[in-house]
Chains A and B, each alone.
Chain A
Amino acid sequence: MEEYRDLFLAEAHEYLQSMSQLLLEMEKKPDNEQLTEMFRAAHSLKGMAGTMGYDLIMELTHDMESLLDKLRTGEAALGRDFVNLLFEAVDLVQILIDNLENQDHFYEEVQVLKTKLRGWEMAPAEKVPCQNTLPEELPSRENISTWNDVINEFEKETLKDALSKGEKIYQINVLLKQGSLLKSVRAYMVLKNMEKHGEVVKTIPSLQLLEEEDFDREIFLLLVGNPDLEVLRDDILGIAEIENVDILLLDGETQLNIDGALGGNSASELQAAAALESGLLMEKEESAVALMEVEREKPDEDLSGFVKNSRNAPLSSRSVEKTIRVETAKLDSLVNLVGELIINRTRVVELGKKVEDELLDGSLEQLERVTTDLQNAVMTLRMVPIRQVFDRFPRMVRDLCMEKDKDMELVISGEETELDRTLVNQVGDPLVHLLRNAVDHGLEEADERKRMGKEAQGKIFLEAHHEGSHVVVSVEDDGRGIDPEAIKTRALEKKMITKEEKEKMGPEEAIRLIFHSGFSTSKEVTDISGRGVGMDVVKTSIEALNGTVEVKSEPGKGSKFVLRLPLTLAIIRALMVESAKETYAIPIEAIRENLFVEPEDIKTIQQRKVITLRDEVLPLYCLKESLGMGEFEEQEVYPVVVVEAGDKKAGLIVDELLGQQEIVIKSLSRFINDIKGIAGATVLGDGRVTLILDVASLLEDGRV
């Protein structure tokens, strides 16, 4: 049962996600297809919950289904309240799923919502002509689709043309014999033999899948022309290993929806539907002749259109990747082991250098190459598309807009961009923050927008892409932007800057003030600047991930926040330093520069050491002291590492700078994982364990 539950959870989550998405789409632009799919999602969820014995979920989804049905009968129309109610139901189902163990606690809520769902009546204002009728037949899993759903506009045109020329459309079902080999070539022969009878407009499976032999035994073809059916039949049956051929005449208008109407359930249509069930796809462009001649690589999107087994896929018409589910713990342990391997490899390679043996060198080089490839391959296993985070934002922005009574659109792009799973989990909150700010403060009221000559509907662009070994995520709005003067005034009031500094400060520097911890929290700030709520939190959390945040803004035009994150957290570049005879690693992202400081440059302010660096007073901490490993000692010259975290910056005095290298981060065991100043540990090539410094906590007060 445990296994079933995991599967249920995974699928239920997908269904809920897709329901949210569909609701959003429907609200924007109602469409039968979405309604059908929504219906199916509710229906499937109901069935799954029923099987698992989750009665509350079953009851709830049943009522959702009934409510959706009312759209068909015209008893309900798609209005804001309607969508809200369905969202409410989706949310409650989510809560129930999150609390499978004690669902009964939510009994009351479920009953209340059920009453609402059942008692739904349209507000009079919404009694407008309803365009959103469901198709006559209620959709069920057994009848998902018809040719109509898989032929594209171009193919439809071809069919139309053919009809107008007096040609006919045939569906030809070809069944290969069990155990046939080189099926792709068989399919090729079938297509080739059909050439003289007419034009093959579409195949199920698609030509690509046929070519890849990604199909079972059945091929369905759509042929136009005026063939002699007997000859056609013999020509196909004349091929070896063909078990059976069925030829069906299709009626273009009713069965292929060529003139706009979707027809009833003819036998052929049902067969096509069955074909779709047994393992299919949505395919586009490709001409029938091109099957084998073309050995080009297809773009990924085409591949993802293939659903190996649509019964296991929650929504067969959505693209589903060919994937297997693996427990994340297993993946983590794999990454860990590879980390160990890399460390050991470095040790062996170092030992090998001492031996100076040519044969050994050669095989060590080979070992290095293979392990590096392995490392890269394993790292990609942990990569997930950022879509997982982005998916919840359209809903969130919509709700926010409702709340604030604003009109805006969230435009998402680059959601395919992949990054480390652990990062995906942690980048969500900062993004929520930025999006909230954009809606809350960035975007003007409608009348202000009008005055500025902007479109009434505001826009927020959420974008992600790769840049070298980084992932860049940006949140951009076309709102009122940030006024540097207002920020400066505010900062002066808060005594964060002096009057003098205010005069000298450029606009960019001024805008960066919003990341200072002292700046936010006050409500008035938002009224003046439109920005600044908890920005320091965003900066700190991104930096904790070894990332950076930048902001660009033009008053009146909008703001853009750019987050730059490393692809992975497991391996980082670090500067190795020595202090009190110990080696420490400092993550390179936290380091601004390295200096050598003469003793006479060190001043003391309020019993603390400082230096002046380019007109800036920089506190100096002795790493030894900070870590409680020793006393500050007089030296001729001090190596200093300038580090930055959040809005704090300081110099760390170390004994020696040792150089940069890649390190594999190992977390400390849970008994000691909460030590201030230490982020983790790593093992060096020579086997020594080295601690990785946590700059942020070191800078909090210079002490741990």
Chain B
Amino acid sequence: MGLKVLITDDTAFMRMTLRNVLEKNGFEIIAEAEDGLQAVEMYSNLKPDLVTMDITMPNMDGIEAIKRIMKDDPEAKIVVVSAMGQKTLVIDALNSGAKDFIVKPFQPDRIVEALQKVGSS
């Protein structure tokens, strides 16, 4: 089985898109989180190999979620999937421990590449 991925995004559409793209490329989607809070919880329960993280979400945003997950597991591999024009937020996320980022709307091969690169490091 491929690497286990936790998808975090507040829109169902984006979660579905990510799931389709990643499953086609051999990743295993083990869970979908709708906000940061769920993501933190699911991470500690499921210990996925990779996490995709949206930034702007209700309840808890992606940055805070990254910080908490990294605290929980310093080895966590998180890839930010951000909307356009969130430069400072993306940098915050990277400084908080995210390994890489990709910008929505993404080209399928780019998210796959990013996850593969991070997953193999």
Query: What is the bound-complex CA distance between A364 and B121, given in angstroms?
Result: 63
Which residues 157-185 in A have Cβ within 8 Å of B in the complex? 177, 179, 181-182, 184-185
Question: What chain A residues lie within 8 Å of B102 (beta carbons)?
Answer: 240-241
The residues of A that contact B103 with a CB separation of less than 8 Å are 181-182
Interface SS majority for chain A: loop
Interface centre among B84, B91, B113, B118 (most CB of A within 10 A): B91
Cα A184 to Cα B103 with chains together (Å)? 12
A residues 623-638 near B (Cβ < 8 Å) are none
Assess whether A185 is in contact with B91, with CB atoms less than 8 Å apart.
Answer: yes
Closest Cβ of chain A to B63, distance in Å, is 14
* B117 x A239 contact (CB < 8 A): yes
The reply to whether B113 and A240 contact each other, CB–CB distance below 8 Å, is yes
**Number of chain A residues close to chain B: CB under 8 A:** 16
Q: Evaluate whether A181 and B114 lie within 8 angstroms (CB atoms) in the complex, with A238-B121, A239-B100 already known.
A: no
Q: Is B87 an interface residue (CB 8 A)?
A: yes
Given the known inter-chain contacts A182-B90, A240-B110, A240-B117, please indicate yes or no for A189 contacting B84, CB distance below 8 A. Answer: no
Is B94 positioned at the interface, with any CB of A under 8 Å from its CB? yes
User: Is A192 interfacial (CB 8 A cutoff)?
Assistant: yes
Per-residue contact bits, chain B 90-113, to A (CB 8 Å; 1 contact, 0 not): 110010000011110001001001
Chain B nearest CB, measured from A106 CB (Å): 57
List B contacts of A181 (CB < 8 A): 84, 103
Among B87, B107, B110, B114, point to the contact of A184 (Cβ < 8 A). B87
A237 to chain B, nearest CB (A): 8
A292 to B88, CA, bound (A): 8
- Minimum CB–CB distance for A297 against chain B, Å: 16
Name the residue on A nearest B79 (C-beta): A240
In the complex, are the beta carbons of A188 and B91 less than 8 A apart?
yes
Give chain B nearest CB distance to A241 CB in angstroms: 6
Residues of chain B within 8 A of A240, CB atoms compared: 79, 100-102, 110, 113-114, 117-118
CA distance A189 to B114 in the complex (A): 13
Query: Which residue of the partner chain, among B84, B87, B90, B117, contacts A238 with CB atoms under 8 Å?
Result: B117
Cβ–Cβ contact B90 & A185, under 8 A: yes
Structural contact, B94 and A189, CB atoms closer than 8 A: yes
Q: Given A239-B117, A241-B113, check contact A185 B94 (CB 8 Å).
A: yes
Residues of A within 8 A of B84 (CB): 181-182
Nearest residue, chain A, Cβ from B93: A185
Cα distance, A185 to B117, chains bound together (Å): 17
Across the interface, name the chain B residue whose C-beta is closest to A295: B88
* Cα A188 to Cα B87 with chains together (Å): 11
* Contact between B91 and A292, CB atoms less than 8 A apart: yes
Once bound together, how far apart are the Cα atoms of A179 and B106, in whole Å? 10
Q: What residues on A are CB-neighbors of B87 within 8 Å?
A: 182, 184-185
Q: Using known A-B contacts A179-B107, A182-B103, A240-B102, determine if residue A192 contacts B94 with beta carbons closer than 8 Å.
A: yes
User: Which residues of the other chain, B, contact A177 by a CB distance below 8 angstroms?
Assistant: 110
Residue of B nearest to A235 (CB): B121
Chain B: which residue is nearest A178 at the CB level? B107
Q: Tell me which residues from 193 to 246 in chain A have a Cβ below 8 Å from any Cβ of chain B.
A: 237-241
Structural contact, A189 and B100, CB atoms closer than 8 A: yes
B107 touches A185 (CB 8 A): no
Chain B residues whose CB sits within 8 angstroms of the CB of A185 once the complex forms:
87, 90-91, 94, 101
B residues 37-86 near A (Cβ < 8 Å) are 79, 82, 84, 86
Query: Which residues in A have their C-beta under 8 angstroms from that of B82?
Result: 182
Give the chain A neighbours of B91 by CB distance below 8 A.
185, 188, 292
Q: Specify which chain A residues have a CB less than 8 angstroms from the CB of B107 in the assembled complex.
A: 179
Bound state CA distance, A182 and B103, in angstroms? 7
Contacts of A192 in B (CB 8 A): 94
Question: 0/1 per residue, A655-699, Cβ < 8 Å to B?
Answer: 000000000000000000000000000000000000000000000
Q: Please name the residue on chain A nearest to B116 by beta carbon.
A: A240
Residues on the A chain within 8 Å of B101, using CB: 182, 185, 240
Q: In the assembly, what is the distance between CA of A292 and CA of B94, in Å? A: 12
Question: Least Cβ distance of B105 to chain A in Å?
Answer: 9
Chain B CB count within 10 A is highest, among A184, A188, A238, A241, for A241
In the assembled complex, which residues on chain A have CB atoms less than 8 Å from the CB atom of B79?
240
Once the chains are docked, how many angstroms separate the CA of A177 from the CA of B110?
Answer: 10
In Å, the complex CA distance between A189 and B95 comes to 10
B121 touches A188 (CB 8 A): no
Q: Report the separation of the CA atoms of residues A295 and B88 in the bound assembly, to the nearest whole angstrom.
A: 10
Chain B residues within 8 Å of A292, by CB: 91
User: Which residues of A approach B to under 8 Å, CB–CB?
Assistant: 177, 179, 181-182, 184-185, 188-189, 192, 237-241, 292, 295
Q: Could you show 23 A-B contacts with beta carbons less than 8 Å apart? A: A179-B107, A181-B103, A182-B82, A182-B84, A182-B86, A182-B101, A184-B87, A185-B87, A185-B90, A185-B94, A188-B94, A237-B117, A238-B117, A238-B118, A238-B121, A239-B100, A240-B79, A240-B100, A240-B101, A240-B102, A240-B117, A241-B110, A295-B88
| 8 more A-B residue pairs beyond the given contacts A240-B118, A241-B102, with a C-beta to C-beta distance below 8 A | A177-B110, A181-B84, A182-B103, A185-B90, A238-B117, A239-B100, A241-B114, A292-B91
